[in-house]
Amino acid sequence: MSETHRSIQALRSIRAGALAAVLIMLLPGASFAADPTWDQGRMTKLAEELYESSSDLYTTLYKDQGAMGRFGGGDASHDFKDTVRILHSETGHLKAELEKGKGRAETRPVIKRLLELNDDLQVSGQRFDPQDDALGGFAKFEDILHRIAPYYGLNVDRKGSK
């Protein structure tokens, strides 16, 4: 085999390897960031905290008549409270799945949905006073959610999710 022929084969091998690497990086869900190490016990504990936080927010908005009155009526108020209801349900689902031993791959869609709901709450909650006691639990919920997201390879900024 000639030197030129070996060089051409080597170049083809390099190109094939580079193409394979690019294709792998484009796969859905592929994450090459420095994700924290998965720890089932830690994640279950964080999910419990997240659920408790969503329960507090849910209880405030649905059971505290004073809070409901401050949010008034109309579509914006309904959308906000309904999103909190769905968020509460999803956090319960996450907690249950992690307690059953489900891992990162099985629970990642739930975290992605929670981040979407978090964004929805930020948008619909803009018309309400952020200093309102009824919304105090939202900051705690968001903080816990933002601590969980990196374990799923999801980047979250403090103004919204990925």
pLDDT at 21: 42
Q: How far apart are CA 110 and CA 38, in angstroms?
A: 16
Residue spans per domain, the chain: 1-30, 36-152
Q: Say which residue, 1 or 38, is predicted with more confidence.
A: 38
CB 51 within 8 A of CB 44: no
pLDDT: which is higher, 132 or 47: 47
Q: Do residues 54 and 120 touch, judged by C-beta distance below 8 A?
A: no
> What are residue 129's phi and psi, to 5 degrees?
-70, 115
18-72 pLDDT, tens digit per residue, is: 444 444 444 444 443 456 899 999 999 999 999 999 998 888 877 765 555 555 5
CA-CA distance, 106 to 152, in Å (whole number)?
11
How long a stretch of residues is the chain? 162
Here the tokens at position 97 are 């799945």
In the three-class reduction of DSSP (H, G, I as helix; E, B as strand; rest coil), residue 160 is classed as strand
pLDDT per residue as tens digits for the range 96-124:
999 999 999 999 999 999 999 999 888 87
Q: CATH classification of 36-152, choosing from 1.10.12, 2.60.40, 1.20.120, 1.10.10?
A: 1.20.120
Whole-model pTM: value is 0.71
Question: Whole-angstrom Cα distance, residue 29 to residue 152?
Answer: 10
Q: In terms of Cα–Cα distance, which of 103, 106, 105 is closest to 40? A: 103
